[in-house]
Amino acid sequence: MCRWIAYFSTEPILLADVILRSEHSLVSQTHHHYLPDVPPPYNVADDLTNPNHKTNVDGFGVGWYTVQDPEGDENLAEICQSISSSATSAQLKGGQTAGRNSQANCHPFKAGRFLFMHNGGVGGFATHVHEIRQRVSSAARHVIKGDTDSEHAFALFLSNLEPEGPWLRDYHMWELETALRRTITELISICEPQGGWVDAHGHPRSWISFNVAISTGTDFLALRFAHPPEREAPSLYWSSVGGSALDRRYRQHPDGGRDLGEKPREEHAPHVVVASEPMTEQAHDEWVLMKNGDLLLSTTAELDLVQTQREHQLKTHILAPKGWWKPRIKRLFPAREPDFLSPLHSSRLHDLRLYPTARSNR
Whether the per-residue pLDDT at 61 is higher than 60: the answer is yes
Q: How does pLDDT run across 242-284, given as a tens digit for each residue?
A: 877 888 887 776 666 666 777 877 778 889 999 988 988 776 6
Q: Name the 3-class secondary structure at 150.
A: helix
Whether the per-residue pLDDT at 212 is higher than 90: the answer is yes
How far apart CA 6 and CA 18 sit, in angstroms, is 9
Please state the rounded mean pLDDT for residues 14-31.
Answer: 74
How far apart CA 13 and CA 162 sit, in angstroms, is 31
CA distances (Å), origin 154, targets 28, 40, 140, 291: 27, 31, 9, 22
**How does strand 208-215 pair with strand 109-111?**
unpaired
Q: Of 189, 42, 65, whose CA–CA distance to 115 is shortest? A: 65
The DSSP line for 324-353 is ----EEEESS-TTS--TTSTTSSTT-S-ST
Q: Environment class of residue 55 by beta-carbon count within 10 Å: exposed (0-12), middle (13-18) or buried (19+)?
A: middle
Q: Environment class of residue 270 by beta-carbon count within 10 Å: exposed (0-12), middle (13-18) or buried (19+)?
A: buried
Contact at 8 Å (CB) between 232 and 275?
Answer: no
- Confidence class of residue 116 from pLDDT cuts 50, 70 and 90? very high
Distance of CA 78 to the CA centre of its chain: 25
Please state the rounded mean pLDDT for residues 236-244.
Answer: 89
pTM of this structure:
0.82
Residues 329, 48, 62, 283, Cα dihedral to 10°? 50
- Confidence class of residue 323 from pLDDT cuts 50, 70 and 90? low
Q: Environment class of residue 149 by beta-carbon count within 10 Å: exposed (0-12), middle (13-18) or buried (19+)?
A: buried
Give the number of residues written for the chain. 362
* DSSP structure class, residue 270: P
Please state the rounded mean pLDDT for residues 138-151.
Answer: 92
How far apart CA 328 and CA 250 sit, in angstroms, is 25
The DSSP line for 43-104 is SSB-STT-SSBS---S-EEEEE--SS---S-SSHHHHHHH-EEEEEEEEEPPSSSSS-SSGG
Q: Which of 153-162, 178-187, 280-289, 313-322 has the lowest mean pLDDT?
A: 313-322
How far apart CA 87 and CA 106 sit, in angstroms, is 18
Q: Would you call the peptide bond into 108 cis, given omega within 30 degrees of 0 as the criterion?
A: yes
Q: Give the pLDDT of residue 246.
A: 81
Average pLDDT, rounded, for the chain: 78
Higher-pLDDT residue of 191, 196: 191
Whether the per-residue pLDDT at 285 is higher than 70: the answer is yes
Contact at 8 Å (CB) between 290 and 256?
Answer: no
- Domains within the chain, CATH numbers bracketed: 3-331 (3.60.20.10)
The DSSP line for 235-260 is P-EEESSHHHHH-TTBSS-TTS----
Q: Which of 35-39, 140-144, 227-231 has the lowest mean pLDDT?
A: 35-39
